[in-house]
Amino acid sequence: NREWHLVSRPVGWPKTEDFALVEAEVPTPGEGQILVRNKYLSVDPYMRGRMSAAKSYADPYELGKVMQGGAVGEVVESNAEGIAVGDHVLHFFGWREYAALDARHAVKVDADAAPLSTYLGVLGMTGLTAYAGLLRTAAFKEGDAVFVSGAAGAVGSQVGQIARLKGASRVIGSAGSDEKVKLLVEEYGFDAAFNYKNGPVAEQLKQAAPDGVDVYFDNVGGEHLEAAIGRLNRGGRIAVCGMISVYNDTEPAPGPRNLARLIQTRGRIEGFLVGDHYDLQPQFVQEVGPWVASGELKYRETVVEGIENNLEAFFGVLRGDNIGKMIVKL
Ligand code: NDP
């Protein structure tokens, strides 16, 4: 049973030496617990925040202890009612091969209904993030022009497609490679997309959104946020989901210089956390599940194999190696 420990708190970009892959005993499940052999592990940008000591919405990872994260696995021992050996469960004890946990911290998932990895992505946490952030926080309505950054990633690719399927007047995305931009337009049905590394975001957004944007779904922050405020239409809404462009900064980044435009536009900017929106989970699965099954909503996963590559997969998310959800397959 191998598991990843955080051994020192990264400063700036995390380094391999900040982590250790440790050999540990397979844990013994206690009363009311199950033993799970993990099959798929999630690596997500928010984990960078938990590697720092600063208190945030999730507690910092403890030094010298195994890290946590979303995972799907097979139950190999059960001392809990309602969960049997052979069941598959979604839980929060990732970054390890085996986990013993209280059954109440596990959610059963159906391996026949959808590929197991999708419970971490398109039908899981990142999917719900897209759904809740777009429909609830940004109060998307038919006819809105929507701009999403990080658009080829797990959350962003779903935001753009949900907006399209729900009648957006225009869907615009930005991503960090020409290959990703091509995918957005040719496969995901975005009306326009640009590579933010090819020139100033404000200029590229102006071209892509000649009539402005009504909704900006922010995954990136920084220059993207300022550019979106600059193109915001009257009554526009900005949902702040994440700001990955600053996660490895050691100094606070300068704020958008044009916030006063929110007055002129009567614009609204609001942050949200997916954890507050799990009441939408049944509605999300009911509405998005069939789109995924029919192929109207497409998704990609970038799958890295082996627990020994879990860390590299995480670094890959920060670098932009992934298209769609980054998954580690054990
Ligand atoms: P992604 O699958 O989008 O992966 C992260 C992507 O960010 C990379 O692929 C990379 O793509 C892009 N990126 C990295 N650095 C930069 C940069 N400097 N500027 C612009 N883009 C960059 O991850 P997720 O879909 O899981 O998460 C997307 C965002 O949503 C993150 O900010 C995350 O923190 C946030 N989030 C928030 C939640 C909430 O409850 N509020 C819940 C889940 C996620 P590229 O090649 O395009 O640069």
Which structural domains are found in the chain, ordered by start? Answer: 2-121+300-329 (3.90.180.10), 125-275 (3.40.50.720)
Token pair of 222, please? 């920084």
Interface ipTM = 0.99
For a substitution probing ligand 1, which of 155, 172, 177, 181 has the most ligand atoms within 8 Å of its CB?
155
For a substitution probing ligand 1, which of 131, 219, 314, 318 has the most ligand atoms within 8 Å of its CB?
219
Residue 274 Cβ inside 6 Å of ligand 1? The answer reads yes
pLDDT, residue 326, reads 98
Distances, alpha carbon 102 to alpha carbons 75, 89, 126, 165, 176, in Å:
12, 12, 24, 39, 41
Residue 236 Cβ inside 6 Å of ligand 1? The answer reads no
Per the document, the length of the chain is 330
154 Cα to the center of ligand 1, angstroms: 8
pLDDT, residue 56, reads 83
Residue 130 Cβ inside 6 Å of ligand 1? The answer reads no
Q: Is the overall model pTM greater than 0.95, yes or no?
A: yes
User: pLDDT tens track of the chain, all 330 residues?
Assistant: 999 999 999 999 999 999 999 999 999 999 999 999 999 999 999 999 999 998 888 899 999 999 999 999 999 999 999 999 999 999 999 999 999 999 999 999 999 999 999 999 999 999 999 999 999 999 999 999 999 999 999 999 999 999 999 999 999 999 999 999 999 999 999 999 999 999 999 999 999 999 999 999 999 999 999 999 999 999 999 999 999 999 999 999 889 999 999 999 999 999 999 999 999 999 999 999 999 999 999 999 999 999 999 999 999 999 999 999 999 999
pLDDT, residue 194, reads 99
Q: Are 236 and 228 in contact (CB under 8 A)?
A: no
Residue 64 CB coordination number (10 Å) = 11
Largest CA distance in the chain: 61
CA angle 77, 80, 84 (to 5 degrees): 55
pLDDT, residue 54, reads 87
Q: What is the 3-state secondary structure (H, E, C) of the chain?
A: CEEEEECCCCCCCCCHHHEEEEECCCCCCCCCEEEEEEEEEECCCHHHHHCCCCCCCCCCCCCCCECCECEEEEEEEECCCCCCCCCEEEECECCECEEEEEHHHCEEECCCCCCHHHHHCCCCHHHHHHHHHHHHHCCCCCCCEEEECCCCEHHHHHHHHHHHHCCCCEEEEEECCHHHHHHHHHCCCCCEEEEHHHCCHHHHHHHHCCCCEEEEEECCCCHHHHHHHHHEEEEEEEEECCCHHHCCCCCCCCCCCCCCHHHHHCCEEEECCHHHHHHHHHHHHHHHHHHHHHCCCCCCEEEEECHHHHHHHHHHHHHCCCCEEEEEEC
Token pair of 4, please? 């990843």
- Rg of the chain's alpha carbons, rounded to an integer? 20
Atom 2 (ligand 1): residue with closest C-alpha?
Answer: 153
Residue 220 Cβ inside 6 Å of ligand 1? The answer reads yes
Query: Residues of 238-270 as b/e, b for ≥16 C-beta within 10 angstroms?
Result: bbbbbbbbebeeeeeeeebebeebbeebebebe
pLDDT, residue 300, reads 98
Rounded Cα gap, residues 269 and 253, in angstroms: 18
Closest to 71 measured CA to CA, from 5, 26, 120, 127: 120
Residue 173 Cβ inside 6 Å of ligand 1? The answer reads no
